[in-house]
Every structure is written in structure tokens, then in C-alpha cells.
Structure 1
Amino acid sequence: MTNPRTHPGGSTTMTSSGQLTLTNGVQIPTLGFGTWQIPDGAAAYDAVSAALAAGYRHIDTARAYGNESSVGRAIADSGLAREDVFVTTKLPAEIKDHDAAATSLQESLAALGLAYVDLYLIHAPWPWAQMGADHATGNALAWAAMEGAHEHRLARAIGVSNFAVSDLEKLIAASRLKPQVNQIKFYIGNTQDEITRYCQTHDILVEGFSPLATGSILSNADVLDVARTYDRSVAQLCIRYVQQRGVVPLPKTTTPSRMVENADLGFTITDEHMALLDGLTDTATEHHGPKPRA
């Protein structure tokens, strides 16, 4: 069995080119660029354009972010071939119905200006106003539409976001296809070990949003001490840590220089430092619940 700090478990495998291979054979870059809370218009367009120019080839958005149109224009204007950019968007958490899910994907594709997305996710197992409620039946209905989208190549891979183990188990029991991805909040001090272990054991790739704890981890003294030993920034250490845990990090910034810095991850954290970082808690100066739409 592979070491979960360096490789995801099971048949989701690392390649030497900075890609991971999902269980259906689709390759996904090991670093993504998140667009949560970047407003539609010039802000989103400029941020995605700068990220693509900096070398990012994995862009994460969502219908709920309201910026799909600007994300799509930036991709179209980049001059990159469509197959060279991995694009993720998400079904709004409030949609728990087959037909509405199918319609929402068509709306996302139209906004993005794309014929397909590389990854389509259910944004959350419950509507944001009903966090924690059981919507297993609605998730299964929405998932059936996503299975259809996968079959018709409107989505090369499908998955979920913010799903706990119980949510995953209920969905898998009611489905033909197992989710290929689960996107969750993941950063040093908040690694959601039960969910991560379940996913990696069951060949579900974990993506980590807020790998910098929305910026609040950057002043943590313990993390800073470790970063200094590698002559790296706290942000670089945090993002590399997520990768070495076998999780795909999705950092977000609108500052081009930080995009470049965040992607400069050509170093390896030792096992000793990984163990130290694994043991940290309360690393964020502010604590956030699972509501973030990332």
C-alpha cells in the first residue's frame, strides 16, 4: 500500500508529470487554482488569466460563485488548447433533483463557453441553509443526472464536495458510479482524517480547498518555524504539505506574484516534519465551519 503522505491510496495514482489519475483514467493536475470569492468580471477574468500565465492548468469554479462566465472567457482568451486546461465546476447545493441538475450543468457549460467540463461536483450534501440535514434521496437523484452527463461526455469525471463518510456511503449505495473526487476543507491542523482516510481507502481522490485556511494560518508560529527550515514561505509549506498528504490543493489568490510563489513547490517535507505538522491543531487564527463554497 502506498504512503498516504506522498500518494493517494488505491488506483488513484501519481505520475511524474504532476498529474493524478482518477479511477476512470482521467488525469487531473496535482495543483489547482481556486476562484471562490473572486467576483465576476475583471477580477475573475484577470485572476484566471494570470494563473494560466503562471502555469496553472487546473481551474476550480462553481455555479454558486457567479463567475463562470469570466472564468470561461479567460480560458478561451489564454490561447491554450482546451484539452490542456482542467476545468471544474459544481452543481449548486440547493439542487437535489434529476432534471434541475441536468439543466444546471447545461447552464454552467453555456456560461463557461465549453462543450464539457473535466470535473463536475455536487457542491454539498445539503442546501447551505439546511447544513447537516439528510438529503440522501435528493443527492441520489442529482447524481443520476451527473452519471448521465458522464456517460454523454459532458463531464469527464464526477464527484462531490463537503461530503462526510455517511453522505458518501449513502450515495454510493444508491448509485452506479462511485464519486471519483471529494473536495473538502483541508489544511494543516484541519485534515479531516476520517473523511480523508475513507476516500483514499476507497479510491476517491481528495481535493483540499482553503489550504491556507483562507489566509489565517499564515501567521501561525509553529508552521512558520518549519517553513523557515526549508527557506520557504508559510504558503508554500502549507500547499506542499497538502500535496504530500495525497490531496490536491486549491489555493486562491488574486496577486500574480503569489500565484507564482504558490506553484513553486519543488521541495519535499521530511517525514519528521510531516509528523510534526500532522500533530498541530488550532493553527488558524480564525475558525470557519463547513459553509465556505470552495
Structure 2
Amino acid sequence: MASVSEVALSSGSAKSMPLIAMGTAVYPFGPSDAMRAAILRAIELGYRHFDTAAVYQSEKPLGDAIAETIRSGVLGSRDEVFITSKLWCSDAHKELVLPALGNTLMNLQMEYLDLYLIHWPASTKPERLYEVPFPKEELLPFDMRSVWEAMEECQTLGLTKAIGVSNFSCKKLEKLLSFSKIPPAVNQVEVNPVWQQKKLREFCVARRIQLAAYSPLGGRGTLWGKDWVMECDVLKDIAKAKGKTLAQVCLRWVYEQADCVIVKSFNRERMKENLLIFDWELNEEERQMIAQIPQRRLFPALEFVSNHGPYKSVGELWDGEI
């Protein structure tokens, strides 16, 4: 079984967060037997951090798989895994946060989460089925203060050990920190060698907010489907020289930034390869080569941009961090 490095979160939870997580977002979103089987393989291989979300519809297969491994004795208890889930936009209303978390816990067959995140700094019409894309006319103003107060209540009640956000810019984090009683422990965002998030990382490090990196290999096979990372010549050259896969070079680079890396593969061999990044490192020349890669955001999140919504441009959504 692989041994994965961990990091303590600013929430003060006794349990540290493993720095490799298995992602469960498969588009089009929906539960499947293949997902449940992949999670069982991941636990066998040593994955102990799983990233899910209400909108992914992966909470139930994840909960089923973990319950099965506990019954079989592969896991001693639920406490041996770290579970992250996320509040979807249709539930990003103060009165809906606690019920949404309750539904997530029911799906997972668990009494608590380790980490609960606001999925996007956005709200949509309540009572809509979890789906992407959604009608843009259903975008509503996001009341950050009241939603965060409800997130804080979730932690105070012990329903989650830590709370955080996802897809928040420096400006939005600054606003959140100006009134939060419990600061966000994590910000989950796109991070890879083609979108390195240097400004955001510096901001978060200074404020003890742990970055978690989704799409560390870019967008291949995802909703936005761009291959800019996997087709990068600089990364290909480094991988060849190191005798590693390009994916391993990317994951190692993210890990060396001290970010949590969210990987996603249901293929057993690639799942094993994704854990083989701890006993070697990039040299300074290789790090400098990666630092010089031209930067561009893979996922602009145009779904949240509308002439009639709260964000009328990509620049407004990301506060210029594009």
C-alpha cells in the first residue's frame, strides 16, 4: 500500500488531509458501478482521500464502496478515510446549506465530512436538480456572508471537520476573510503547469489556506476537453529525461508546490502510477523550465457568465485572474 504525505489544516482538526485525492467527477455526471469498482481499487492501492460533490452524483457510490471496505475489514473504520464534498449552487442559500449537507451525509452513509466546500462563488435557483449546464436565467446573486455563516454552523455542529471554498479568486477570498469567524481551510482550484496560480498560491500561503489542485493534467476527457497540458513539449521533454510519464511529472510538480493533488483515473495501472511520485523530485533546471511555460486558464467557467447574471464577463467571475 502506498504511503501518501499529509498536511494539517488550519481548522485544527486532529485528522490531516492526504495530499493525493481521488476525484470522482465523471461527465456526464451520474453514479455508476464502474465508479464504485474504481473506488474499491483505489482503497486497495492506498488512496485515503476522496473528492466528491453533490453535483457529481458520486456521493452514493463512494459511500457504498467505503461501507463495503469497512465490512470486509480492508478499512478499520470510516475515520481512516478523508472525505471532501461540495455545496452546489442551487443549495448556496443560507437556509439550504444544512439540509444539503444532511443529504450528502445520507448519500455517503456517514455522520460527518472531513471537508465541506462551497463549490462555486455563485447561486442558482433553489430546488433545481443538480445538473450542468444549467439555464443561465437561473443565476442569482451570491450572498457570500449568509452562505458562509451556514457553512460555519455546519462545522460548529460537528457535521464537517473543516470548511472551505472552491474556485475563489484572491479578491473573493479577501472579502470572505473580512467577515468570517471560521476562515476557509482550503481553496480548491484549477492548478497545473499550464495554469500555475502563482498569485493565488502566495495569497493562500500567507493566510494558511491550503490549495487543492483539480485538473492537474489539464482538461483531457473532461467537460472542457483541452489537451494543453498533455501536449506540452516542455513537459514531454522533462518526462523523457526523467524516465517518468508526463502525468507523473505534472503531479510531482503540483505536489512540490505543497498543494493537494486531485487525480482521476479508473484505470488500475494509472491509479498506481499516480501514487509513484514521492521517491523522486524535479531538479532546479526542470522547475525553471516549467516556470517559463506560457500560462492560460483551461476552464473559464462560461456557464456562470451572463449579461443578466451577477457575473457579466469572465473577468468579473475571476476578478481579473485569467
SS at match of 2:272: helix
| SS across alignment from 2:122 | coil
Aligned to 2:274: 262
- The residue type paired with residue 257 of structure 1 is E
Matches for 1:190-269 after TM superposition, within 5 Å: 190-215=195-220, 216=227, 217-265=229-277, 266-269=279-282
CA distance, structure 2, for counterparts of residue 31 and residue 172 of structure 1? 27
Corresponding residue number in structure 2 for 1:87: 83
Seq. identity, %: 29
**Partners of 2:123 and 2:140 within 8 A in 1:** no
Where 2:213 maps in the other structure, the secondary structure is strand
Alpha-carbon distance in structure 1 between the residues aligned to 2:274 and 2:173: 31
Match of 2:161 among 156, 166, 169: 156
Report the Cα offset of residue 200 of structure 1.
1.1
Question: Matches of 1:199 and 1:148 in 2, distance apart?
Answer: 23
Partner AA of 2:19 in structure 1: T
What's the TM-score, normalizing by structure 2? 0.80
Instruction: Please state how far the C-alpha of 1:44 moved relative to its aligned partner.
Output: 1.7
- Cα deviation for residue 17 of structure 1 reads 6.4
Q: 1:188 is matched with which residue? A: 193
Between 1 and 2, higher relative CO (CA 8 Å, sep ≥ 6) is seen in 1
Q: Deviations over 1:67-114 (max 9, x none)?
A: 110011111112312111000000002333222011100000001111
Aligned partner of 1:171 among 170, 173, 176: 176
Could you say which residue in structure 2 is the equivalent of 1:108?
104
Long gaps (5+) in structure 2: 125-133, 221-226, 305-322
Q: 1:74/1:291 Cα in 2 relative to 1: closer, same or farther (>3 Å)? A: farther
Conservation of the 8 A alpha-carbon contact between 2:4 and 2:19:
no
Query: In structure 2, what is the equivalent of residue 6 of structure 1?
Result: none
* CA gap 1:23/1:58 in 2 versus in 1, 3 angstroms: same
TM-score (norm 1): 0.87
Q: Which residue in 2 is equivalent to 1:276?
A: 289
Gaps of 5+ in 1: 1-15
Higher Cα Rg, which structure: 2
One-letter amino acid matched to 1:29: P
Counterpart selection for 1:70 from 42, 51, 61 = 61
2:299 is matched with 288
Task: Letter of the 1:222 partner, please give it.
Answer: V
Aligned-partner Cα distance in 1 for 2:288–2:66 = 39
Indicate the residue corresponding to 1:33 in structure 2. 22
When the two chains are superposed, the root-mean-square deviation of aligned CA atoms in Å is 2.3
Matched, 1:46 2:58: no
